[in-house]
Amino acid sequence: MRRPQHRVHGYCKQLLSLDDQNVLKKAVDLSLKWYDVKVQRDPDGLIFKQIKYKGVYYKAICNHEEVFVPSPDFFECLDEIDCVEKPIMVDYVWLIKIKSQDYNILASAGPCTADRNSLRPTSGRMFLSKSVIREATEEIHRGGLERLMDTIRHEIAHGLFLLGDLVDLYPNSKLHVIKSTRFTVYPEIINESTKEDEHFIGYSFPKALEKARDYFECPDLKYVEMENRGNGDHFETDFLPYEFMRSFGDRDMQFFSAITYGLMEDSGWFKVDYSMAETMPPVNSGKNPCNFAKSCEFGDYSETSDFYTKCHPGRKSHYVDLLDVSPRGRCEIPQIISCGLASQQSSWRCLEHAGPYIFKSYSSKVPTTETLHSPQCYQIKCNLGQVQFVSNDVTYTCEKPGQRIYLYESYGLGNHFYNFYARSSQGALNYRKKYKDYIIERTVICPEFCEVCAEQEPETCVHIPTFNMLLSSSFPLLSSNYFIFVSFFSLNV
């Protein structure tokens, strides 16, 4: 499958610095890779209305106020007499406008024009606050670019397929959209401890529902639950707390899951490659996974302690210590440590420990001892098929996968154990910061080389595709093409 071709252009009137412009364009480019899909293209190309404003010709999008700045890269006819504008041979045109610093909405997006036959959106506009881009530039080495990419790829989804108004255009949408109450949809969850009933919006489109059932291990799940305070534009945070299309974002990791790709395909406008989906962390569903999927009631933590000792798929994150949960929406979920965000480095990966590890503090007259359970992020060095990891400024070499390496390390003020620091750097202060002198004793399990080194040594770890695209001859498909026009100027709001 060929990568989609796209062109990014900009027009600047001193609203963004050159660094901000470069960061934005890079974030747009990174965001588009998640939309490497097949699309049914109009063979006649896209034609946009041309208007003349103050003697200059523009191509209009949405209405006369939403226009593209003049650019020879975008259209051929400027002021030439008898010039006939040719269609643009792309699948989608984006206009990104930068709002001024005092704009109180960080980002928004939506579709503008649609294909007259399939009703697939063919253009859209996106508003970004200048402050979002500025923050990404200032925190470029602390995950800033990744967070801006998350914002942009989230907004792209709204312009392509995930808005309540667009969902109404899906095949048989009236049969697959429900607005009811939770207890009406799932009466089996009602018991003495059940929370109050609430409004419920759900989608039962086949591809998305299949992927949600797989994720929750719940074959009788009826709906993919959507945000109940809106128009079905986002997944409900309590239902999919780690999905990038949930109803609100934060600095935690956000995953472009197979459920989103499924909904994209359910639209009837796209064919997707599910192997590109990011694997979301599993939820602690206890002995009854369907109960969590339907009510967000977690299982008994004490019975599932092993659940919190494992790295997440891809080894880029892990849950924090057992029983360490945080409210998000109306439910409590385990917090995540993102190796990249916490370390500010892309080479860090999660490694697991052989059994619990020991925390011993000598900061007071009576020593304190605790047993901890979570994995840990380590700096990884890859050297010709051999894994090395760094802990407390010491490099350890793994001779083979599964090898156990025992660590007995001293920490204190100015040199805290990484897991404590990682939580603090993500906004969750840890009470153990007060300790001045303590020991961490644990045994690290060496990983498979390609589990942690595939990005550092891709030539050693050859990726084998897990998905083969089968295309129906009745559905002419081409790789997606995007024309991105980024206009850097302030708007009056």
Catalytic residues: 155
- Rounded-to-integer distance, Cα 212 and Cα 205, Å: 11
Q: Which residues pair with 23 in a beta bridge?
A: none
Per-residue exposure over 98-126, b if at least 16 CB sit within 10 Å of its own CB, e if not: bbeeebeeebebbbbbebeebebbbbbbb
3-class secondary structure, 98: strand
Long-range CB contacts (within 8 A, 24+) of 17-25: 17/137, 19/137, 20/130, 20/133, 20/134, 20/137, 21/486, 21/488, 23/133, 23/136, 23/137, 23/140, 23/144, 23/145, 23/148, 24/96, 24/128, 24/133, 24/136, 24/148, 24/486, 25/486
Please state the residue numbers annotated as binding site. Answer: 154, 158, 234
Quote the crossing angle between the two packed helices 18-32 and 130-138, to the nearest 10°. Answer: 90
- Rounded-to-integer distance, Cα 413 and Cα 400, Å: 35
Of 85, 78, 108, 80, the closest CA to residue 96 belongs to 108
- Cα–Cα distances (Å) from 469 to 36, 84, 274, 476, 481, in that order, read 12, 39, 9, 13, 18
Please state the residue numbers annotated as binding site for Zn(2+). Answer: 154, 158, 234
3-class secondary structure, 204: coil
- Indicate the residue type of 160: L
**Contacts of residue 430, Cβ cutoff 8 Å, sequence gap at least 6:** 420, 423, 424
- Indicate the residue type of 51: I
Are the CB atoms for 31 and 71 separated by under 8 Å? no
